[in-house]
Amino acid sequence: MTLSPPRHIAFVLSRLHRQGFQAWCVGGCVRDALLGRAPADWDIATSALPQQVLAAFPGCGASLAGAAHGTVTLLLPGGSAEITTFRVDGDYENHRKPRQVLFTPSLAQDLARRDFTVNAMAYCPGLGLFDPFSGLADLENRVLRCVGQPAPRFDQDALRILRCLRFAAVLGFTIDPLTRQGARQSRGLLPGLSGQRVQEELTRLLPGPWAARVLWEEQEILFAALPELAPLAGCGQESLYHRYDCWGHSLCALHHAPPLPVLRWAALLHDCGKPLVKSIDQNGIAHFYNHGQAGAQAAGRLLRRLGFPSFLLQEITRLVEHHSQPLPIGEKRIRSLFAQWGPQGLFRLLDLVQAHTLALAEEPARRLLPLVLGAKALAREIGNQAGCLSPRDLALNGRDLLSLGYSPGPQLGAALKRLFELVLAGKLENRRPALLQAARAWQKPAPP
C-alpha cells in the first residue's frame, strides 16, 4: 500500500527521520487518501518536541500558536505543514477539551486518544501503514467505530457525537451499534457545547449525500443539539398536498436541495414555523397561514444562537420566508424576482422551491414540478437576454449619477436600483445615453 503525500510533507517527514525522530502522517489525511479522496490537509505527528522541530528546520517561517499543545506550523515553499508532538490527553473539562496534554514517545499512545478507528491510522513512506485499532478493516467495511469504549470517548468531547453523524452523512458509513448506542446515550451533553461549534459541525454535515438519512435515523441526537426543531416531528400536515409530517417533509426537501450549506440549512429550516401557526378547519384539513414569516423569525433566533454571520443569517431566513412561491411563475414576476434577489439569490430561491415541491405528496409533486422547472428555464432565458443581472452590469455607475448632481447615499442607490429594474423589465435599454437621460429626468432641480 502506497500513499503519496505532497512534496513539502514528504520533505518534512524525511528531514525529521534524518534527525533521528519518528514522523508520520496521521488522522483524516490517511483516511481520505485510503478512500481515494484528496485530503484537505496532511497532518504530521512526531516524537520530536516543538523546539526540536524548529531546530530541524532553521530558517523556515513558523507559527507557534499551538505550541502549548505540541503543534508547530511550518511555512514552506510548497505549503504549510502542521506538526504535532505525540501526546496523551489529561482529564477533560466541560466535555470538550483536555485540561493538559502530556508528550509521549509512543505513536500508539497518540493514536489511542483519537475518536474513531478510521481516524486512528498513521502512514509514512517507506514504513507503510500503522493501524493498531483495525481502522483499515473498518474503512473497507465502511463502519464508524470509536477507539475504545464509546461512552468515555463521547464524555471526553461531546462534539464527537456530531462528528460521528457528520462522517456518516459525508462518507455514507454505517455507525457501529455500540458507538451508535453510546452517541445516543450521551446526547444530553450536546446543549453544553458552544453554538459556534455546533454550527460548524452541522454546516459540514448537511451537504453530505447521506445527510437526510442520518438525521432521520439520529433525530434524537439532532434535537438535543437543536431543540427548536423537535416540534416538527409528529406535526402532521393533514392535506392532500403532503405525504409526510413536517419533519419528514423537511428532510425530504433537504435531500433534494443542492448540496450547498446555505440551501441545505434553508431546506432544513424552511417549515420550522409550521408548528407555531398550525390550525385545523372543520373538514379536518390543516392550514399553516403565514408560516413563512413565522419560520423566518424562528430560524433567525436559532441561527443567531449558533453564531451565524449576519449575511448568512439574512440569506437563509429570507429563503425560509419566501419558499412558498405561488406557481406558476410568469415572466413579469421572474423579472421582478430578478430585481429583488439578484441572479444568485433567485436561482437559490427556485432551487429551494423545487426541493420543497419534490417533498410534497406524489400527485401534487408530479403536477407542480414542471411549473418550477419552467420558471427556472424562463429565468435562465431572461438572464441571458437581458445581459444585465445586477446593478453592477448597468452601462453607468454611481460616479455618473454623482456627476448629474445626485447625492451619495440612499438617493444614489435607489436610482441605480430603479434603472436596473427598468432594464430588466425591458422598458429601458442598457445603453449609457438612455440611462443618463432617464436618471437626469428624475433628478430634482437644485433649490435657488
Strand partners, 98: 92
For the residues 330-339, what does the mean pLDDT come to? 89
pLDDT tens digits along 387-398: 677 788 899 999
Kindly tell me if the per-residue pLDDT of 153 is higher than 90: yes
Provide the grid cell at 362.
Answer: 406524489
Q: How far is Cα 72 from Cα 49, in angstroms, rounded to an integer?
A: 9
Residues 191/228, Cβ–Cβ less than 8 Å: no
pLDDT given at position 386:
64
pTM: 0.89
Q: How far is Cα 275 from Cα 288, in angstroms, rounded to an integer?
A: 8
Q: Shortest CA distance to 6 belongs to which of 60, 80, 85, 72?
A: 80
pLDDT given at position 448:
42
Question: Which amino acid, one-letter code, is at 311?
Answer: F
Residues 402/416, Cβ–Cβ less than 8 Å: no
Kindly tell me if the per-residue pLDDT of 186 is higher than 90: yes
Alpha helices (H) along 157-309? 159-171, 177-185, 195-205, 211-217, 219-225, 246-256, 261-269, 274-277, 291-305
Provide the grid cell at 85.
Answer: 508532538
For the residues 265-274, what does the mean pLDDT come to? 98
Kindly tell me if the per-residue pLDDT of 45 is higher than 60: yes
Q: Shortest CA distance to 325 belongs to which of 300, 301, 351?
A: 351
Report angle CA 298, 299, 305 to the nearest 5 degrees.
95
pLDDT tens digits along 58-100: 989 988 888 888 999 999 988 999 999 999 987 776 666 777 7
Helices 291-305, 310-322: inter-axial angle, 10-degree rounding: 160
| 146 DSSP 8-state letter | B
